[in-house]
Amino acid sequence: MGLISFILGSDSRQSLKKLNKLALKVEELEPKYQAMSDEELKAQTRVLKERLAKGETLDDIMFDAFAALREASWRVLKMKHFHVQIMGGICLHQGRIAEMRTGEGKTLVSTLPAYLNALTGKGVHIVTVNDYLARRDAEWMGKVHKFMGLTVGVVVPGMDDKQKKEAYACDIVYGTNNELGFDYLRDNLKTSIPAMVQRELNFCIIDEVDSILIDEARTPLIISGRGGESSKLYEDVDKFVRTLHGGFDDDKKDAEKNVAKRKKNASEEDKKAEEHLAEVLKEMEDWDYIIDRKEKSVTITEKGGDKAEKFFGVANISDIENADLNHHIQQALKAHELFKRDEDYIVSNDGEILIVDEFTGRLMHGRRYSDGLHQAIEAKEHVKVRNENKTHATVTFQNYFRLYNKLSGMTGTAKTEEAEFRTIYSLDVVEIPTNKPVQRKDYADMIYSTVEGKKRAIVNEIVERHAKGQPILIGTVTVDKSEEISRLLRRNGIKHNILNAKNHEREAEIVAQAGRYGAVTIATNMAGRGTDILLGGNPEYLAKKRMREEGFDHDMIEVAISYADRQFSEEEQTARDRYAELYKMYKAETDAEKVKVIEAGGLCIIGTERHESRRIDNQLRGRAGRQGDPGVSIFYISLEDDLAKRFGGERIKSIYNVFKLDEDQCLQSKMLSRSIENAQKAIEGRNFGIRKRTLQYDEVMNEQRKTIYGERLKVLKGEDVHEQMLKYIPDYVEKVVRETVNTDAMPEKWDENELNEALKVKVYPEECTFEITREMLERWDYEAAIKRISKEVIKSYEQKIENISRETHGQVDYHQVERNELLRSVDRNWIDHIDAMDQLRKGIGLRGYAQQDPVIAYKQEGYEMFSEMIERVQTTTISRLLKGKIIRIRPGMPIPGARRPMPQAAPAAGLPANSAAAPAAAETAPEKAEAPATAESVPAESTAQSAQAEPQPAPEMPAQPAMPSANAGRAPFGSNLSMRPQEFAPNPTGKQAPLVRDKKKEVGRNDPCPCGSGKKYKDCCYWKDHK
């Protein structure tokens, strides 16, 4: 272990040496750019772009780009990048993670690689964890980029597609991980290229990268439409679980151990204790369910199962037909035992269940737990149980961010998760040194036997430090616990601010002033707060607050604090003068206050318990000691805390009993602190394993999604699919023939009347007059029959297209009809496929009982289901094209799809006005018309703000004006989708394993070709093998 640490440490030092040398080269250029006028400095953007156009690389122009942007930052913001910030910028440009402590200016660091990479014209996305930070950074740092002639956009919820498209077209785009991910999904539900908002996913810088790529890795983004009505079963099951009683698995185990221990002793006292414990164990045997703290799961016992059978009137709760009921009971038990109000969620005033982010303490508006859990919580809280949803599109952050050509990130805490970043994202973590040495003192953990003893100690610590004016930041892990500490402080007359999910609107104000003399602030987790705590207070914030109180509006305040080389109006100049006056006043005030705060010991961090993740603890600690300021951090732990309970709290508690310590006595021990840290490592390791396993499953759908979206995009870009449609015809003919006659027999045995009738009803267009005769059947073999029928169908289909063109005077492009029908079929079948894959995944874990690896089974069956879906796409598309009829257009009625401007079609419900569910067009209709469907937007696991209406078999086949075509003779849609199951697995070598062809095995014509080309057998080696 020592050797490995030495090697890794050496590698890290080598990285820092290289970054240091590169940063020095940037600083050497400072005099050159300082000497330039504003106009000369701005012109450097054009100069650098010209150098790229002549063949230089980004690395070649990096030093000049960084030096120019650094000077621009000084002129615009009066902020110049420190040496270590330049190192961080280079690290980000290289596609790595820069670990920089709180207060080291990560927001400013991102401007360097963003400017450099934006010079390519391909765009840069800077991702933040919330809308406030996205807007703030776009406005704040955007001033520098705009000074240098680049465009800056921001993407936040509530924008329409036109606004988003304009934002994404900018050189640098700020946005949240949620909004960028949803826009990707929405784009892949659009039915035309102009309606799409995103462009190529080029370079991405993720702020708080550990929060997004680790903490939220398993959270899927889901766009959903209305599914079935919410079942009354949720409410019935909720009533049932309220009649049950259960307990924790580890409590039972501890009781059993104590009974065994007592039996070894013979004293009277031990016998009485043994009898009591036996009674406790007997009571536990009557439990209806058992809760597993470590796994966060609830299991119904046999007794609980018996009660369920009696309550719901079923014979066996474990039977497959009762699987849905069983699932509802499990989710209801989880809702009652594992999800706590004001801890995991809150209930809003209008009766909505709002999830609380466990890592940031913020409300996650629009997000819903999946798999019926959210409905179970709604039933538990007696609020309206909302409809269940049907997924239309989904992607995880793991897979979305891996779509970027280059990915980088920054955070204050990434080193503890370095293995995961390397394994899943191929990202190295580099610890960037601090600008000034850290002077914060981190005390050993203060460990108490009970929660009550711990709380009293925390209050005493706060009272003592507050008396000397030291600012204190108290970190809690839940909303409920933050309010509990608040109650204790009020009892002791200590004025304080509280920051949690219930009052997050005042976040910036509370955090900005948490460093003032005598300030006491309680916060639920400090990840991604985005605001530095300045000792003595933040003069800029105080000046802006005063201006708002004096009646200046937001825009005028921004003018007042902005850099601009232009003439200002009288009103603007008044605002600028007032801001300068206020800033000077508050700066003097906060500087004087800072001296007092430093004398009091700087910011004091008090952690009220350890979080499951060491990173969250480190984020809290990191709020003190920024830029060389003094500070302290202390964590208080109780052996009754959840973390201690889950990992050996009872064993540690025995030490208290040995030393006969009461609950108000503190025990400081490196061994105990290590035990807590080891518990955290165990949880982190288990969570990493879960995320890694989840990714193996997700990779299957990810490859399928990329394939479908890729093929769909080609069609949207105007690729002529006519040749594909012609290649679908023989497959469809063969399918209908197989369904109608016994193809094992020779054609002479077939019933020509039955076959003619089936082909006429299912295949032949109106133009087809071909009739199969007895003589033909006696003359044909199977292949000849399929070939001849297909030839006649193709001929009549081409005739149909000519007739439509003639009847509409060439104003309707039937090739666009083909594109629209293909897209419609793909979308409808893909939605059903997502649902089918989800059902497969829910049940695949049972394969482990059959000695099968569930992941391998999922890959194999997922591949088979994907192949079947592609076949359905082809079949449904060609059948509608062959049998569709032109709707007669009345005289004077505008022809949708004609080559002239047409009004915008009305959108389906839940869609923005410029992304209707299907394009307006000329229409054809099958014999049985079905009503088109609309669906409202229903958020699912994550915010689904613009759900696509669920495509249904529709009564029209849209046609649009002619579009440029490409690759007219390419293979049919789906012919290159026949990926073998092993291709869905991540391949670290990058090499494709050769496919061994088994000539003995009979290969069907529609099976993937065994040569490994990815084509169907009949489109590849069939004819060569059957010469």
Query: Computed over its alpha carbons, how large is the radius of gyration of the chain?
Result: 34
Q: State the angle between helix axes of 111-118 and 58-77 in degrees (0 to 180), rounded to the nearest 10.
A: 130
End-to-end CA gap in the chain: 64
Sequential DSSP letters for 23-48: HHHHHHTHHHHHTS-HHHHHTHHHHH
CB 439 within 8 A of CB 707: no
Cα(217)–Cα(396) distance, rounded to whole angstroms?
A: 7
Helix (H, G, I), strand (E, B) or coil at 763: coil
Q: Is 107 annotated as a binding residue?
A: yes
Helices (H), 121-232: 131-140, 142-147, 161-168, 177-187, 209-210
DSSP string, 674-694: HHHHHHHHHHHHHHHHHHHHH
Ligand-binding annotation for 104, yes or no, is yes
Per-residue CA distances from 537 to 500, 550, 588 (Å): 21, 20, 11
What gap in Å lies between CA 121 and CA 151, rounded to an integer? 11
Residue at token pair 């291709």: 983
Whether residue 2 is annotated as binding a ligand: the answer is no
Q: Which one, of 106, 114, 163, 100, lies nearest residue 142 by Cα?
A: 114
Q: For residues 733-746, b (16+ Cβ closer than 10 Å) or e, as one string?
A: bbbbbeebbeeeee
* Residue 85 annotated in ligand binding: yes
Is residue 450 within 8 A of residue 656, CB to CB? The reply is no
Q: For residue 957, what are the CA distances in angstroms to 455, 730, 750, 979?
A: 69, 22, 34, 30
Residue 103 known to bind ligand: yes
The one-letter code for the residue type at 19 is L
Classified as helix, coil or strand, 613 is coil
Assigned token pair, 12: 């890290």
Helix, strand, or coil (residue 530):
coil
Q: Which of 231, 222, 242, 228 is nearest to 181 (CA)?
A: 222
Residue corresponding to tokens 């936040």: 156
Closest CA to 842 of 827, 826, 861: 861
Task: Report the alpha-carbon distance of residue 715 to residue 973 in Å, rounded.
Answer: 9
| Beta-ladder partners of 79 | none
Is 518 annotated as a binding-site member?
no
Tell me the angle at which helices 302-312 and 323-337 cross, rounded to the nearest 10 degrees. Answer: 120
- Going by the annotation, the residues of the binding site for ATP are 85, 103-107, 532
Binding-site residue set = 85, 103-107, 532
